[in-house]
Chain A
Amino acid sequence: MSKPKIATTALTSCFGCHMSILDIDDLLLKLIELVDFDKSPIADIKDFTGPVDVGIIEGGISNDENLEVARDFRKHCKVLVSLGECAIQGNIPAMRNTVPLKECLEVAYLSGPTVENPSGRIPDDPDIPMLMNKVYPVHELVKVDYFIPGCPPPAETIWEILSSLLLGKEIDLSYTMLKKD
């Protein structure tokens, strides 16, 4: 029997949730034995090679490419997990939802105290992904099956859920595993 497959990605986020996956430490070696990685920065595989059992998304959706990746994950993954607050509710990046996007760009590229911008142009390369006016939680745009809260969720929680999902066990989380800071 082939090993279950897992895929991960980071959208608009800080990568801390992926770091928390690495915080399972030596269990990482066990994870590598248990599963095959498909598309994931951890294994450096850039595109789906086929259907995947568990897909993990870190981060909210703030541009058209994020949305494309989220849809691609939904299409390929039997189970889709939102890992961490950015995926679940937008979190810190979504603080920009209270401000017009234009103002964010102006502060960064026109009015900042160290800015030298002789052309007065805000970066506008046609290949830069289109920013959305808001940062969205993943489940507002694609269906999500599981939510793991925390910023980031603790490594033990991630391991308990992942290993249970992969081995078909019942998920059993203690109170401390669910407690946020």
Chain B
Amino acid sequence: MRTATKNGRKIIINPVTRVEGHGKVTIKLDEAGKVEQARMHIIEFRGFERFILGRFYWEVPVIVQRLCGICPVSHLLCAAKAMDVIVGADKLTPTGEKMRRLMHYGQTFQSHTLHFFHLSSPDLLFGFDADPLKRNIIGVAQEHPELAKMAILMRKYGQEVIKATAGKKIHGNGAIPGGINKNLSIEERDFLLKDIDQMIQWSVEGLNLYKKLYRDDIERMSAFGSFESNFVSIVDEDGRFDIYDGSLRAKDPDGKLIFDQIKPMDYLNYIREEVRPWSYMKFPFIKQLGMEKGWYRVGPLARVNNCDYMDAPMSEKERREFMELGGGRPVHSTLAYHWARLLEILYCAEKMKELLNDPDLQGTDLVVTGERRSEAVAYLEAPRGTLFHHYRINDRDQVEMANLIVSTTSNNEPMNQAVKSVALEYLEGAEITEDLLNHVEVAIRAYDPCLSCATHAVGRMPLIVRLEGPGGELMQEKVRG
């Protein structure tokens, strides 16, 4: 069905079933029928920042991690880091810091594995256009059993690391204000050390698999859903890659610094969030660039682009190779996200091995305290990008103010841009084709939207595409269930 209109048209895509309805995308066409704008609406709201008020500060890490069961450790750790500031623990004991790092590497390892192998590999192995009924993890298990087994065991390993450090695979409580509540026993250490070399090897295999897929089809892969953007992540004092601690760095599309080494307490001067009435998910932007131009990308691609080097030998070699894709500029391709993600899987595996061999993990000095403070901000690089937690605590130890910027929120505008880029290429006339649906799905998925923090799309995302006339009247609707 095609309807001519005078004032442009809108196409609406629902990336999560209407019934589970948590998200929806609108593509607006201009009068000439060309793509003018893309909007991804997020339609779930939970209200953590309000109902956490009045709770005691030591309860916060275990409560806020229930924002997300896919990467709970990120919220546990980010809140714990903020509470370190509150209790005046400026420097944790070596055991405290290293246990937390191990926990975070385990978590990033499992989350990235889940995303790449369980959620994205079906598209890549069977092709973007394959039958959606086969294009899922069950299809992978049936047709590539060794790969499925490897994915399951890699995720399992990450979960075991979390269990050994946080106490439980999902929603543990290992990180507490000022430190941790357990060290790593010799038995736990040996149990984990036994398989670490295998994990490193599988990480390399996974990375090579994707590198080959990408290089074999490099033109299409690098052009797919592509656009240029700013990048935000944390880095260490000397620009080293770090996902647990550091200061904020932003680069522009050419790789020039917009700002660098911004300490947590200063974040308010650099990052703002725009509210748009059509989405529950806000739109973060770099303050000095303004709402229009200040949006940025976070996550694996941003981190690898932003850092100066990685302190893990195999990963550093891979990072250099990766950066060649950009030819001296940052890498902007949407599908390079997967490449960067697999590179981080390898980095985490290397770092876990280093830590497992570190006797500090068997230390018994677990918690420190100092002078009590009333306000704290903490950053953490969650698997999907920079996470900000900001709290004010009153003198009765209760939360008085909480502000959370969740990683996926920062990729809000980028996901819109990716959809726009795909629509520009795959939208033919005003017709919603299967091809368009497929490609929109793949583009959004590359950003690994942990919509559990906003939606529940762990599976592949169903689509509803709607074409709307200028007055919002329905012109065409196509549902893929």
Q: Do A and B come from one complex?
A: yes
Cβ contacts under 8 Å, A131 to chain B:
45
Stretch of A7-15, A137-145, A169-177 contacting B (4+ beta carbons < 8 Å): A7-15
In the complex, residue of chain A having the shortest beta-carbon distance to the beta carbon of B453: A14
CA A108 – CA B152 in complex, angstroms?
A: 37
Q: Which residues of B54-74 are within 8 A (CB) of A?
A: 63, 66-70, 72
Stretch of B324-332, B414-422, B426-434, B458-466 contacting A (4+ beta carbons < 8 Å): B458-466
Interface string of B14-56 (1 = CB under 8 A from A): 0001111100100000000000000001011111011111000
- Assess the B275–A115 pair: CB atoms within 8 A: yes
Knowing A15-B456, A25-B152 are in contact, say whether A125-B279 is a contact too (CB < 8 A): yes
Closest 3 CB pairs of A and B: A16-B69, A41-B459, A104-B47
CA A142 – CA B21 in complex, angstroms?
A: 20
- Assess the B481–A19 pair: CB atoms within 8 A: no
B1 adjacent to chain A (CB < 8 Å): no
Interface string of A97-110 (1 = CB under 8 A from B): 01101011111110
- Assess the B170–A20 pair: CB atoms within 8 A: yes
Sampled A-B contacts (26; CB under 8 Å): A10-B456, A16-B70, A18-B69, A20-B170, A23-B156, A41-B456, A41-B457, A42-B459, A46-B17, A47-B17, A65-B21, A68-B19, A96-B47, A103-B50, A107-B50, A108-B47, A114-B284, A116-B272, A116-B273, A116-B291, A117-B274, A119-B277, A129-B43, A129-B44, A155-B169, A181-B171
Tally chain B residues at the interface, Cβ within 8 Å. 75
CA A124 – CA B278 in complex, angstroms?
A: 6
In the complex, residue of chain A having the shortest beta-carbon distance to the beta carbon of B46: A93
Q: 19 extra interchain contacts, Cβ-Cβ under 8 A, other than A22-B155, A122-B275?
A: A10-B458, A14-B69, A19-B170, A20-B169, A28-B152, A41-B457, A46-B19, A62-B46, A92-B66, A93-B46, A95-B52, A108-B49, A112-B403, A115-B273, A123-B45, A123-B275, A123-B279, A128-B280, A129-B43
Contact of A114 among B133, B142, B403 (CB under 8 A): B403
In the complex, residue of chain B having the shortest beta-carbon distance to the beta carbon of A101: B47
Contact of A15 among B18, B69, B141, B169 (CB under 8 A): B69
CA A69 – CA B114 in complex, angstroms?
A: 26
Minimum Cβ distance to chain A for residue B89 (Å):
23
Cβ contacts under 8 Å, A28 to chain B:
141, 152
Cβ contacts under 8 Å, A17 to chain B:
69
Minimum Cβ distance to chain B for residue A42 (Å):
6
- Assess the A152–B49 pair: CB atoms within 8 A: no
Knowing A65-B20, A181-B168 are in contact, say whether A14-B141 is a contact too (CB < 8 A): no
Minimum Cβ distance to chain B for residue A104 (Å):
3
Interface string of A45-72 (1 = CB under 8 A from B): 1110000000000000011010011001
Q: Count CB-based A-B contacts (< 8 Å).
A: 205
Interface string of B116-147 (1 = CB under 8 A from A): 00100000000000001101111001100100
Minimum Cβ distance to chain A for residue B292 (Å):
12
- Assess the A113–B405 pair: CB atoms within 8 A: no
- Assess the A72–B275 pair: CB atoms within 8 A: no
- Assess the B152–A14 pair: CB atoms within 8 A: no
B153 adjacent to chain A (CB < 8 Å): yes
Q: Which residues of B172-227 are within 8 A (CB) of A?
A: 173
Minimum Cβ distance to chain B for residue A69 (Å):
5
CA A106 – CA B118 in complex, angstroms?
A: 37
CA A43 – CA B462 in complex, angstroms?
A: 12
Knowing A29-B141, A32-B141, A113-B268 are in contact, say whether A46-B152 is a contact too (CB < 8 A): no
Instruction: Choose among B50, B66, B480 the residue with the greatest number of A CB atoms under 10 Å from its CB.
Output: B50
A163 adjacent to chain B (CB < 8 Å): no
B276 adjacent to chain A (CB < 8 Å): yes
Knowing A96-B47, A113-B268 are in contact, say whether A151-B273 is a contact too (CB < 8 A): no
CA A168 – CA B41 in complex, angstroms?
A: 44
Knowing A25-B152, A105-B45 are in contact, say whether A116-B50 is a contact too (CB < 8 A): no
- Assess the A16–B51 pair: CB atoms within 8 A: no
Knowing A20-B170, A29-B149, A44-B459 are in contact, say whether A114-B20 is a contact too (CB < 8 A): no
CA A76 – CA B17 in complex, angstroms?
A: 17
Cβ contacts under 8 Å, B312 to chain A:
none
Knowing A44-B136, A117-B275 are in contact, say whether A152-B19 is a contact too (CB < 8 A): no
A91 adjacent to chain B (CB < 8 Å): yes
CA A139 – CA B149 in complex, angstroms?
A: 37
Cβ contacts under 8 Å, A22 to chain B:
114, 118, 155
Minimum Cβ distance to chain A for residue B54 (Å):
9
In the complex, residue of chain A having the shortest beta-carbon distance to the beta carbon of B14: A127
Cβ contacts under 8 Å, A46 to chain B:
17, 19-20, 462, 480-481
CA A68 – CA B24 in complex, angstroms?
A: 18
B282 adjacent to chain A (CB < 8 Å): yes
Cβ contacts under 8 Å, B49 to chain A:
104, 107-108, 112
Minimum Cβ distance to chain A for residue B306 (Å):
21
- Assess the A99–B50 pair: CB atoms within 8 A: yes
- Assess the B141–A125 pair: CB atoms within 8 A: no
In the complex, residue of chain B having the shortest beta-carbon distance to the beta carbon of A65: B21
B271 adjacent to chain A (CB < 8 Å): yes
Interface string of A137-162 (1 = CB under 8 A from B): 00000000000000110010000000
B401 adjacent to chain A (CB < 8 Å): yes
- Assess the B68–A15 pair: CB atoms within 8 A: yes
Knowing A96-B50, A107-B47 are in contact, say whether A14-B273 is a contact too (CB < 8 A): no
In the complex, residue of chain A having the shortest beta-carbon distance to the beta carbon of B168: A181
A136 adjacent to chain B (CB < 8 Å): no
B303 adjacent to chain A (CB < 8 Å): no
Knowing A16-B69, A44-B460 are in contact, say whether A99-B274 is a contact too (CB < 8 A): no
Cβ contacts under 8 Å, A69 to chain B:
19-20
B159 adjacent to chain A (CB < 8 Å): yes
- Assess the B114–A96 pair: CB atoms within 8 A: no
Minimum Cβ distance to chain A for residue B76 (Å):
12
